[in-house]
Amino acid sequence: MRIVASRPDPALFSLPWDQPLEEWTEHVVPLPRGLSRHVVRVLQVDGTFYAVKETQREMAEREYGLLRQLVQRGLPTVAPQAVVSGRATDPDAALVTRHLAYALPYRALFINGLPAAGLPLVIDALVVLLVRLHLAGFYWGDVSLSNVLFRRSAGEFAAYLVDAETGEFHPDVSPRMREYDVTVGCENVFAELLDLHAAGLLGDVDPHAVIEQIRTRYDSLWEELFAPEQFSTDEMWHLEQRISRLNDLGFDVEELDMTTDAEGSTVRIQPRVVEAGHYARELEELTGLEVENNQARRLLNDLSAFSAFHGIADRATAAERWRTEVYQRIARMIPAELRGRLEPAEVFHEILEHRWLLSERAGHEIDIFEVAEDYIATQLAQRPETRLATEP
């Protein structure tokens, strides 16, 4: 037997690799899993949680390499831990990845109470993930809800790739490959929606309308990212407006191609290189907090309000005070038994939403710490557990 690991964990050697994964009982954690053509189990080994997928050696090694490249490029995906090969089983190998905290497969979202009206948010997260992969030169080949885990992000969702075995890296993902990924995604998601409908989790949602949303959303997002735009030189505000729209979508413009006509009266612009995570990078630079991009946008808005209220001109000073006096104080208010319900950044977002509701009812703004106490007691306590007890 052979184990190749990026982060060696001696405890992995003690697992019963000579037995088929579906026969394992020790270390197995009963967590919701997505649909898969492979046997997949979540394990707890010495306080660390792993997802293990049984497959053939060549496929495991290839996917391990692809996941490592995706992680190195900062893309939203599970982190590969190891490949175990030479097992006395069929298939003869297993891919081990780190369990992604606070993340759920799509079926679990609906089983845990996400209304059918929330489906567009799930689809949008899938489309944004697909666009980000294509921007990075990654052709997926098997786009589906089953190959993704979802984490809440300020009332929306962030999607993480968990199955890359059909993927390929290219210097550039051609329009034909992008079209194929979108088409495969539409076909797979349609089948998955029928599965949800059969389970009584979709209500009156029309799967055909959802599929149309995938294609429309993908095309419109790609168009916004890369379509050329032309305007006169006395309308340069269009340039700032275009960059602002991309920032609102969560993207930074890393390179912009600008040309003028022979008379110099008309400017043509076209983004050449864009990168996702605009607000997340800004928040991390200011506070050191690593959160989802939508969460970062909401937290930055609160930071700005805090700065204005206290009259703090220096943004770095405001960020440090906000982090210690507001964000961390609220995080410490969450009882230990409730910390697995939502990520701290998502709790903060929901407290801001709760504050608006309570303040509107009261006719005046309510102190955020008073709101936090009410939210924790009346809202957070009712939420299902989404994080394992010993996860960081």
Domain CATH number, residue 143: 1.10.510.10
Residues 291 and 371 in one domain: yes
Residues 90 and 116 in one domain: no
- Residue 155 domain flag: yes
Residues 127 and 221 in one domain: yes
Residues 231 and 294 in one domain: no
pLDDT at 37: 81
The tens digit of pLDDT for each residue in 37-75 reads 889 999 998 888 999 999 999 999 999 999 999 999 999
In percent, the amount of the chain with pLDDT more than 90 equals: 69
Q: Give the mean model confidence (pLDDT) for residues 237-243.
A: 88
In percent, the amount of the chain with pLDDT more than 70 equals: 97
Residue appearing with tokens 């369990």: 99
Q: Which of 56, 78, 98 is the last residue of a domain?
A: 98
- Please provide the DSSP assignment of 11-73 as one string: GGGGS-TTS-GGG--TTB--------SS-EEEEEETTEEEEEEEE-HHHHHHHHHHHHHHHHT
CB count, 10 Å around CB of 335?
10
- Residue 388 domain flag: no
Mean pLDDT of the chain: 91
Residues 240 and 343 in one domain: no
- Residue 389 domain flag: no
Residue 365 in 3-state DSSP?
A: coil
- Residue 64 domain flag: yes
Residue 31: is its pLDDT beyond 80?
no
pLDDT at 1: 83
- For 9, the domain range is 2-98
Residues 204 and 130 in one domain: yes
Residues 261 and 346 in one domain: no
Supply the angle between the helices 119-135 and 207-226 in degrees, to the nearest 10.
40
Residues 116 and 219 in one domain: yes
- Residue 391 domain flag: no
- Residue 194 domain flag: yes
Residues 67 and 120 in one domain: no
Supply the angle between the helices 315-322 and 278-287 in degrees, to the nearest 10.
80
Q: Which of 187, 206, 225 is the last residue of a domain?
A: 225
- Residue 371 domain flag: yes
- Residue 387 domain flag: no
Residues 197 and 137 in one domain: yes
The dihedral of CA 339, 340, 345, 346: what is its sign?
Answer: negative
Residues 217 and 111 in one domain: yes
Q: What is the CATH number of the domain that holds 53?
A: 3.30.200
The tens digit of pLDDT for each residue in 90-112 reads 999 999 999 998 999 999 898 88
Residues 52 and 89 in one domain: yes
Cis amide prior to 344 (ω within 30 degrees): no
pLDDT at 222: 95
Q: Which of 217, 248, 276 is the last residue of a domain?
A: 276
Domains in the chain: how many in total? 4
The tens digit of pLDDT for each residue in 294-345 reads 999 999 999 999 999 999 999 999 999 999 999 999 999 999 999 989 999 9
